[in-house]
Structures are given as structure tokens and as C-alpha cells.
Structure 1
Amino acid sequence: MQFNTTLLFIIFFLTNSCYSGKLTPLADLPSGLKEISAIEKTSKSDILWVIEDAGNNNHLYGLDAKVKITKDIEIENVQNIDWEDLTSDTDGNIYIGDFGNNSKKRKNFAIYKVSHPENAESSAKAEVISFKLPKDMKSEDFESFFLYNDAFYMFSKDHKKCELIKVPNQVGDHVAEYISEVKLKGKKTKVTSADISQDGKTVVLLNHDKLWKLSDFTSDDFFSGTIEAMAFEHESQKEGINILDSNEVLITDEKTKHEGGKLYLFGLD
């Protein structure tokens, strides 16, 4: 989703430098949120939405243009089994991906729809979209997804291959549809977050030391086109990515003892 002019100006003011093709720190993330696993902006507000993953609260946090917490919303009817990514629709609703599966034993996965979170005070209830994997697919860990043409697309986190599955954006129980798979090149190939551009022509997949830019694909087989690796020259536990426009993305990483816990800007050109 795109930022409006005001927020883009604030970001430019914060960087005050050339960021095209470089991973540029914008700001420290709130110190109380050490394990941010996603970042998303809806089309209806300038709030940056973030979550934390397994072992943390079932809260959706909103950050203002200065990257300070302005919203703290408890999603009161669901648990944080392992929240891993965020996406949104054109109406401004947020979707939380509860599909982390480090043990690779999980059989039931969920996506939680939070309607217009910018209007919530301190709590909200979510609608639940639940799913199981295709019958012949073994249990996998997922940390990334996005919404495209009213369906959710999830990418598995694995060092050997990345598998793509699809689930309809409909409340209720579903069986995911298997789309395709790819062997990403390099030593580190685990996908930790994903997003798609507003025009549907560019997909980005995040890793700790790089991202992959996918383009020229056919229909929703995002692995069928060009896959370009773009290195950061910086390694940390990067877990969240959000496309601002066709040329820029926001990235977050988790806080460790000596590094991380920052919001970054990266140019795709």
C-alpha cells in the first residue's frame, strides 16, 4: 500500500540521505516491542501496524510517523499461537497470519481479520479464516503472506525450497491450494515476510540478509517469472516487509542484544 505525501515527507526528513538501493535505518522501533514480526500500512490511515510473534501478547500495535506506539489493540477472541505476518485489503482491514510452525507439527492454521483497526480503542474482535494444508503436503513453517485478488498467498520458510499455497479470503474452514515451488539460490533462503505491489506486478520476499524481487510472472504463479536477489550488505533478524510503491519497501528487524529493533527503508531500483 502506498503512503500519502505527508508521511513520505516525514520519512525523507528522517533519512536526509540517498537511500536508493541501500538499506537505510529510519528509526528505532519501540523498545517494548522486541520481536516485531511484520509491518503493514492500510489504505485508510497513515498508521504503521506491527505485531509480535509466538510467546508475546495477542495485540495489534499501531505506530505513528515518528514510530511511536499510538494504538495498542488487544484482539480479544483469539490467541497468539505464532503470529508471523500482516496484510491488508483495499477497504483498510488488517489480516494477521497465525501460521508459524517451527516444530512442523501444526495441522491447523488461521488468518484473523480485524476490521478498520484505526477506529478501535483498546480491543477488537477478529473474524477467523482457518485452513489446513493440502492432503499430500507435509506440515511446513510459514512466516509470510499477502492478499491478492481476494486470496491469501503464503510462502513456506525452508532452506531447501519455498512452497507457495493459496487460501480464499472467506471466513470459515478451508483446505489450501498448492500453487508451485522454487529452490531459491544462495546459502540463506528462508523467507520471513512477503508483500505484493499495489499494481500486482512486483512481489518481494524477505530474508535476513537480502530480499528477492519477483516480476514478469504469469497469473498467480509468482515463481514463474524473473527472480532477482538484492543483498543488503547487512544481516539481522529481519521479519517484516511492506511495499510503499514500485521503488521502495519498509523493513523491520527484531531486537537482539547488540543490534536490530529498527525500521529501514530500501530502494528496489
Structure 2
Amino acid sequence: MKNIVLILVLVAVQACAQKTYYGDLEPLGKFPSKLEEVSGIEVSPAGAIWVIQDSGNEDEIFQVDMKAKLVQSLKIDHAKNQDWEDLALDNEGNLYIGDFGNNANKRKDLTIYKVPRSELDKKKPNAKKIAFHYPEQKNFPPEKDSLYFDTEGFFHLDGHLYIFTKNRTRPYSGKTLIYRVPDTEGKYAAESLGSLFLCGDQDHCSVTGADISPDGKTIALLSYGLVFLLTDFELSDFSKASIKTIDLNCQTQIESICFLDDKTLLIADEQNRYGGRSLYQFKLD
């Protein structure tokens, strides 16, 4: 039995390591102690860095500088942090907060809050609500082999929000489901755009953050220690996308990613026993 388990582990690791490139994160600074659980990060067109924290924290967004020092915090009006997991921005500077963390796959109140650019100058910005559901989910929760509906990553492009779900299936399938919803206030059935197989290691291959480069040519999907770079994709069909895997050589709980520019990523991790609570930069080739 031990030999069988070892073989399965080696197969999973090998599948995850195929076409894998290695790189090191460049530390930029450490977040203040009140930001132990940064779960999403974005950079505005004007260069403001925004971060959020996940469940158990206040309904606030935080602006930090390039050294992770706190600039200001804003309490979002008409919004509740049930489980905020990622941030997105559009070209006009409107901010989107993904309240779609769903560890147990039980939630029926999945929400994206839209904070207009004009509201970000206020101490208590008002948010508009984009409510949605996954039409393919029939049970709450589904069976263990269908636990696809937790979510921690999305981005904005051309009037839509593109969502990549976090796989919690057992046995682990290695897939992320892809959906999109309009970026305007309302209630929606998310449109399915298929799925992607990232890799077969359940500890390293589930999506914890997502973003798209300013030129729209590269998508970065973050997982625990890995970044998957998607190029040559079609927005209605990601199955033909080219995927490059980068191993970040780290043990902390990496949760957040965004593009600073077309060739530079900002990455943040949560505090755990290995360290963390830091902001990093990663240069792409």
C-alpha cells in the first residue's frame, strides 16, 4: 500500500512539474499586523494599490504603498464581508470585490460588489451589488467529486467579470471552472465558459487569485506556490490556451496576485507558520 501511495504522489508531482519554470519572489515590504489575511490585491490606473481581507474581517478595503505600508482604509457601505476573496479593476478605475468564498460549497448568496471610481474618494464608499449563481450547481453542497464552486479568483475585461473557481473535489480532478457575469448591478446566472486542467496536485493546483495583464494578452492564475500564465486564449473558449507554469519556490500561503504592468506581478501572502504577511514583486520573462 505504501508503494502505491508513493507512486500516486510521484505521478501528481510529475504532472504538476511538466513544463515548469522556476523563479524567486522579490520582497517589497511587510504588511502591518492588522493585515494578516490579505486575500485580494489590485493596482488602479493611477497606481493606487488596494487590498482586502477574507472572512472574519471588517467590510473594509485598504490602500497600501509599494512597501506594503498602510495609506488609508475605507469602510464599504451597503456591503458585507462574508468571504471577500479577490479584487478586480476596470479601465475606468471602478473596483470590484469578490464576495464569493465558498469553502463548503453551500452558499446561495454569491456576490460581487462594484465600487465606482467616484466613490473611492469618500470615507465610506457606496457599493452596487452584482448577485450571481452557478447554474450547474444543483445541490448545496454537492457530492465530494463535484466540489467546484468555491471561488478565489477573477478579473475584469470588456464589460464582464471572468471567474475561475477553486477546486475542492475528492478525488482531486485538477480542473478550474470558468464563468463570466456582466459588470453591472443585477442578478445573473453565470455563463459557463468551460474548464481548464491546471495540474493534478491538490495541494498546489487550486486557484487562489487571478488577474489579466493591462494589454489583455496574459492571464495569471495563482495557486499555492505556483503561477499559471495563460496566453493565446479566446474569451469564449479557454481550452486552446497555452499554459506556462512557474514555481515560486515558497512555503507561505500565497493568496493574491495582480499585474503591476505587462511584465510585472505583485503577489501577497497571508501569515502562517512559515512567515508571510508580505508584498512581493515578480518579473516575467
- With structure 2 as the length reference, what TM-score do the two structures score? 0.83
**Partners in 2 of 1:66 and 1:266 — Cα distance?**
14
> Which residue does the alignment assign to 1:153?
162
Letter in 2 for 1:63: V
Aligned to 1:246: 262
Deviations 1:159-200 (A, max 9, x none): 521100111111111110110112212412110000011121
C-alpha distance in 2 between matches for 1:185 and 1:108 = 29
Tell me if the contact between 1:202 and 1:215 (Cα under 8 Å) persists in the aligned partners: yes
Q: Which residue of 1 aligns with 2:17?
A: none
- Identity level (%): 39
Which of the residues 23, 40, 43 maps onto 2:42?
Answer: 40
**Structure 1 residue matching 2:258: 3-state secondary structure:** strand
Structure 1 distance, partners of 2:42, 2:97, is 10
Per-residue deviation, residues 22-59 of structure 1 (Å, max 9, x unmatched): 2111111122110000110111x222100000010000
Letter aligned with residue 88 of structure 2: T
Aligned equivalents of 1:117 and 1:41: distance in 2? 16
Deviation at 1:154, TM superposition (A): 0.6
Alignment of 1:7-18 (within 5 A): none
Residue equivalent to 1:80 = 81
Paired residues of 2:252 and 2:274 also in contact (CA < 8 A): no
**Corresponding residue of 2:193:** 179
Q: 3-state DSSP class of the match of 1:107?
A: coil
Give the aligned residue type for 1:231. Answer: D
CA distance in 1, matches of 2:267, 2:77: 28
Task: Label 1:257 to 1:117 Cα distance change in 2 as closer, same or farther (>3 A).
Answer: farther
Runs of at least 4 residues off by over 4 Å: 135-139
Corresponding letter in the other structure for 2:164: F
The answer to which of 76-85 and 178-187 deviates more is 178-187
- Give the CA deviation at 1:115: 1.6
In structure 2, C-alpha distance between the alignment counterparts of 1:205 and 1:65, rounded to whole Å: 22
Paired residues of 2:39 and 2:85 also in contact (CA < 8 A) = yes
Alignment partners' CA distance in 2, 1:102 and 1:252:
20
Change (3 A) 1:119 1:174: closer
Aligned residue number for residue 260 of structure 1: 276
The Cα shift of 1:136 comes to 5.2
> Unpaired segments of 5 or more residues in structure 1?
1-19
Q: Which amino acid aligns with 2:28?
A: L
- Deviation larger for 114-123 or 87-96: 114-123
Match of 1:221? 237
Are residue 234 (structure 1) and residue 256 (structure 2) matched?
Answer: no
| SS of alignment partner, residue 191 of structure 1 | coil
User: How many residues are treated as equivalent by the alignment?
Assistant: 249
Mapped partners of 1:50, 1:219: distance in 2: 26
Q: Give the direction of change, closer, same or farther, for the CA distance of 1:216–1:137 in structure 2 (3 Å limit).
A: farther
CA positional deviation for 1:256: 2.0
Distance in 2 (CA, whole Å) between partners of 1:136 and 1:35 is: 28
CA distance in 2, matches of 1:206, 1:223: 18
| Root-mean-square deviation over aligned CA pairs | 1.8
**Aligned in 2, Cα 1:213/1:256: closer, same or farther, shift over 3 Å?**
same
Q: Give distance in 1, aligned partners of 2:138 and 2:212.
A: 25
Unaligned ranges ≥5, structure 2: 1-21, 141-148
Matches within 5 A, 1:16-31: 21-31=23-33
Q: What displacement does 1:93 show?
A: 1.1
**2:235 is paired with a residue of what secondary structure?**
coil
The amino acid across from 2:185 in the alignment is V
Distance 1:40 1:137, change over 3 A: farther
